Amino acid sequence: MTTRRYLEDFAVGQVFGSDSYAVTVDNIKEFAGQWDPQFFHVDEVEAEDSFFQGLAASGWHTACITMRLLVTGELRPAGGMIGAGVEELRWFRPVRPGDVLKVRAEVVDTRAMRSKPGYGIVRMRVETQDHLGETVQTFTTPLVVRGRGD
């Protein structure tokens, strides 16, 4: 919980892990009811006759689970986890009740920010996997990370 990583502590190839998150019928429906209220995310019976052929988590639910696992996981940049955006978010298969997700985040690039002295960008490739190790989602995100400022 305590160690925070500054810009200078990141290097290409480092990998950070996370806890896990169990996807259930109830949390699929609760999330979707708020943010993605479509029949294939909120009704098991109607979902059978949908593109997903059964209840599926909203892709944004998977993205939010991923963010939660990143924030509570091993990465812990100094100043907090601040994404400037998201590049190429892809969903590979529907996430279903019973899936248990975890996240693997790998540093793919680091650089100083010219526009904001004292800060840098750490680009992370973030992979969300199920309990069998199958990838369900990937994205790359440039994180804004504080330098040590010695």
* Sites of contact with its own copies (CB under 8 A): 34-40, 50-51, 58-60, 63-65, 67-68, 71-72, 79-91, 139, 144, 146
Residues written for the chain: 150
In angstroms, what is the minimal distance from the CB of 34 to its own copies?
A: 7
In angstroms, what is the minimal distance from the CB of 146 to its own copies?
A: 8
Contact between 18 and 102 under an 8 Å Cβ cutoff? The reply is: yes
Closer Cβ to its own copies, 13 or 52, answer by number: 52
In angstroms, what is the minimal distance from the CB of 81 to its own copies?
A: 6
Closer Cβ to its own copies, 13 or 114, answer by number: 114
In angstroms, what is the minimal distance from the CB of 31 to its own copies?
A: 9
Closest CA to 126 of 52, 73, 78, 56: 73
Closer Cβ to its own copies, 13 or 129, answer by number: 129
Report the distance separating Cα 101 and Cα 147, nearest Å. 31
Integer CA distances (angstroms), 51 to 40, 48, 93, in order: 8, 8, 12
Closer Cβ to its own copies, 68 or 125, answer by number: 68
Q: Crossing angle, helix 59-71 and helix 25-35, to 10 degrees?
A: 100
